[in-house]
C-alpha cells in the first residue's frame, strides 16, 4: 500500500521560498515527489497531512552515544533511538565507548540485534580502533567490518601513539573503511574541565588548551595523506583545527570533519558561575573566536557536517559538579530547533544550507543511501513545525539524560512526525508508535 504526504513544504536550493509538494511512498521507498499544484489520486492510500509543515529527509547523526551495552543507567538503545526519532533523526551512528567496548564482532552484532528489536531508527555501529580503547593493540578490523561496523574510532579518547594511528589508517584503507578520530593529546589536558579562556581565568581553573585538539588534527591529516585513508575528525572546536583541516583539504587529503550544535551556539563565556556540569563536555565550550571560526568553517565547507555528540549521563553523575562530573550533554531533541532558530531565522543561513549539513552531506561523506527527497531513496523523513515557538523542557525528553545547558531556551523548528522506511515511528501527537 502507498502513503501520500500531502501539501508539505520543501526547501529549495536556489531560493529561500518553500515549495508545496506531495510525496508518495511505496514499499518503504520514496516513489514520487509531485508538484503542489497537482491533485494526486490517493484512493486506497494512507495519507498524512503536511500542510504548513516543512518536509525534510530524516536527519543523519554520525556521532552519538547510546551507552548500551553496560551503561544502561545513562541510556539504552531503546531510549536513545526514541530520543533520536523525536529529534527528527532517522539514522544515527553510535560510538564504541560502551562496557564492554564495541571491539569484537559479537558486540557489534549485539548492538545491531538490539537496534533491530528495540530501536526505532537506523543504528550504524562504529567499532573501536584499539582493544578496550586503551591505545595498545589494534582490533580485528576485517572481522569488525564483516560484522557490520561502519568505521573505526576510539571516541572518548584520542589515540596517543602516532605509529598505532598510522597502522590503523593503513589497515582501514585496505578495507575501504574510514577512521573517525576524537582528537586529544592527553599530555596537554590533565585534570582540566573547561577550555583555557575567560571562564577558566576568572575562576582560577586549569584550562584545556586548543592545541590539545589541533595537535592530533595536524598529525592525523599527515598520516591520512601518507596512507590515503578517509579520515574524519570528530567534534571540531578550535580555530587551529579549522586552519589545519583547510590546509589538508587544499592539498587534496581525504579529510572530512564534523561540528556539534553546542560548539556553534555557546562559548566559554556563557558558562554560568554556578559551574553547572551541564555545561561540561569534551571538547569543551571554546572562546567566542573559536565559535566564529567553526561557524565560518561550516559555511565555507572546511567542516562538512553537523553531528550532536549526544552524550547522556545520569543526574547523579552530573551532580558531582564541574570538576568531577563526566563530560557530555544530550543533543538529539534540541539540535535542529537550536540551529534553525539561531542561524536560519536570523538570516545567516538558508534553510537548505542547514538541512544539507544534517542530511545529504553526512550521507555523501559516509556513502549512505538516505538523506535525499528523491525517488528510490529510503522513505526516512521528518515533518517540522517552523511557526511555533516552544521552550526546551528536559522533563519532556525521551532520552534518559537530562544533561542539557539549553533548559528554558525558546526555539522554533520542532519536529512533528518522523518516518523510517515509510513507517511512522514518532508523532508529536501520539509519541512513539510500536511496531
Ligand atoms: N563528548 C563528551 O563530552 N563525552 C562523550 C565522549 C566523547 O565524545 O568524547 C561521552 O561518551 O560521554
Ligand atoms: Zn569524542
pLDDT average per 10 residues of sequence, the chain (435 residues): 96 87 98 97 97 98 98 98 99 99 99 98 99 98 99 98 98 99 96 96 97 98 99 99 98 99 98 97 98 99 99 98 97 99 97 98 98 98 98 98 98 98 98 84
CA of 255 to the centre of ligand 2 (A): 17
Backbone dihedral region of 275: left (phi > 0), alpha (psi from -120 to 50 degrees) or beta? Answer: left
Grid cell 571562564 is found at 199
Catalytic-role residue among 309, 352, 361, 385: 309
388 labelled ligand-binding: no
Q: Which residue CA neighbors atom 6 of ligand 1 most closely?
A: 156
Q: Is the CB of 209 under 6 A from ligand 1?
A: no
Query: In angstroms, how far is CA 48 from the centroid of its own chain?
Result: 28
Contact in structure between 85 and 117 (CB atoms under 8 Å)? no
In eight-state DSSP terms, residue 343 is I
Please identify which residue in the block is written with the cell numbers 548500551: 68
For the domain made up of 3-55+378-397+409-432, give the CATH fold.
Urease, subunit C; domain 1 (2.30.40)
Whether 176 is a known active-site residue: answer no
CA pair distance 115, 119, nearest whole angstrom: 4
- Its pTM stands at 0.98
Task: Give the model's pLDDT for residue 12.
Answer: 87
The annotation status of 99 as a binding-site residue, yes or no, is: no
According to the model, what pLDDT value does residue 15 have? 74
**Distance from residue 331's CA to the centre of ligand 2 (Å):** 14
Query: What are the structural domain ranges in the chain?
Result: 3-55+378-397+409-432, 58-365
Kindly report, residue by residue over 138-155, the tens digit of the pLDDT: 999 999 999 999 999 999
Which pLDDT score, from 0 to 100, does residue 121 have?
A: 98
Nearest CA to ligand 1 atom 8: 156
- The SS3 of residue 320 is coil
Number of neighbours of residue 160 by Cβ within 10 angstroms: 17
- CA of 180 from ligand 2 middle (Å) equals 10
3-55+378-397+409-432 and 58-365 share one CATH topology? no
Q: Which helix or strand (DSSP H or E) is residue 414 part of?
A: strand 414-420
Q: Where are the beta strands (DSSP E) in 130-240?
A: 179-181, 194-195, 207-208, 231-233
205 is an annotated ligand-binding site residue? no
User: How confident is the model at residue 435, as a pLDDT?
Assistant: 58
Residues in Cβ contact with 300 at an 8 Å cutoff, skipping those fewer than 6 apart: none
- Rounded Cα distance between 65 and 205, Å, is 28
The CATH number of the structural domain formed by 58-365 is: 3.20.20.140
Cβ count within 10 A of residue 231: 26
Amino acid at each position: 500500500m502507498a502513503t501520500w504526504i500531502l501539501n508539505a513544504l520543501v526547501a529549495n536550493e536556489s531560493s529561500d521560498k518553500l515549495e508545496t509538494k506531495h510525496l508518495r511512498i511505496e514499499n518503504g521507498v520514496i516513489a514520487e515527489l509531485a508538484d503542489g499544484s497537482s491533485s494526486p489520486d490517493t484512493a486506497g492510500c494512507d495519507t498524512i497531512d503536511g500542510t504548513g509543515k516543512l518536509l525534510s529527509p530524516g536527519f543523519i547523526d554520525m556521532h552519538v552515544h547510546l551507552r548500551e551495552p553496560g551503561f544502561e543507567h545513562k541510556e539504552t538503545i531503546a531510549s536513545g533511538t526514541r530520543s533520536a526519532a523525536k529529534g527528527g533523526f532517522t539514522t544515527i551512528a553510535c560510538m564504541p565507548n560502551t562496557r564492554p567496548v564495541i571491539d569484537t564482532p559479537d558486540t557489534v552484532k549485539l548492538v545491531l540485534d538490539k537496534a533491530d528489536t528495540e530501536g526505532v531508527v537506523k543504528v550504524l555501529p562504529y567499532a573501536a580502533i584499539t582493544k578496550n580503547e586503551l591505545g595498545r593493540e589494534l582490533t580485528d578490523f576485517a572481522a569488525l567490518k564483516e560484522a557490520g561496523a561502519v568505521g573505526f574510532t576510539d571516541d572518548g579518547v584520542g589515540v596517543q601513539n602516532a605509529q598505532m594511528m598510522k597502522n590503523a589508517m593503513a589497515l582501514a584503507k585496505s578495507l575501504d573503511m574510514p577512521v573517525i578520530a576524537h582528537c586529544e593529546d592527553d599530555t596537554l589536558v590533565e585534570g582540566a574541565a573547561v577550555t583555557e579562556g575567560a571562564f577558566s581565568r576568572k575562576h582560577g581553573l586549569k584550562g584545556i588548551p586548543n592545541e590539545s585538539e589541533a595537535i592530533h588534527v595536524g598529525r592525523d591529516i599527515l598520516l591520512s595523506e601518507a596512507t590515503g585513508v578517509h579520515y574524519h575528525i570528530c567534534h571540531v572546536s578550535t580555530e587551529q583545527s579549522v586552519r589545519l583541516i583547510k590546509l589538508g583539504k587544499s592539498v587534496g587529503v581525504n579529510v572530512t570533519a564534523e561540528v556539534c550544535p553546542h560548539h556553534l551556539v555557546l562559548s566559554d563565556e556563557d558558562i554560568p558561575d554556578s559551574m553547572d556540569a551541564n555545561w561540561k563536555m569534551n571538547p569543551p565550550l571554546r572562546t567566542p573566536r573559536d565559535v566564529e571560526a567553526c561557524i565560518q568553517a561550516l559555511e565555507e565547507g572546511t567542516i562538512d557536517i553537523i553531528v550532536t555528540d549526544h552524550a547522556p549521563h545520569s543526574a547523579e553523575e552530573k551532580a558531582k559538579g564541574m570538576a568531577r562530573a563526566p563530560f557530555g550533554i544530550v543533543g538529539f531533541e534540541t539540535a535542529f530547533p537550536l540551529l534553525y532558530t539561531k542561524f536560519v531565522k536570523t538570516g545567516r543561513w538558508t534553510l537548505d544550507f542547514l538541512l544539507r549539513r544534517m542530511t545529504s552531506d553526512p550521507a555523501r561523506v559516509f556513502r549512505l543511501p538516505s538523506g535525499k527527497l528523491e525517488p528510490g531513496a529510503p522513505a526516512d523523513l521528518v515533518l517540522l513545525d517552523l511557526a511555533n515557538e516552544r521552550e526546551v523542557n528536559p522533563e519532556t525528553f525521551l532520552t534518559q539524560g537530562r544533561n542539557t545547558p539549553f533548559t528554558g531556551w525558546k526555539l522554533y523548528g520542532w519536529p512533528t512526525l518522523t518516518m523510517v522506511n515509510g513507517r511512522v515511528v514518532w508523532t508529536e501527537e501520539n509519541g512513539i508508535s510500536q511496531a
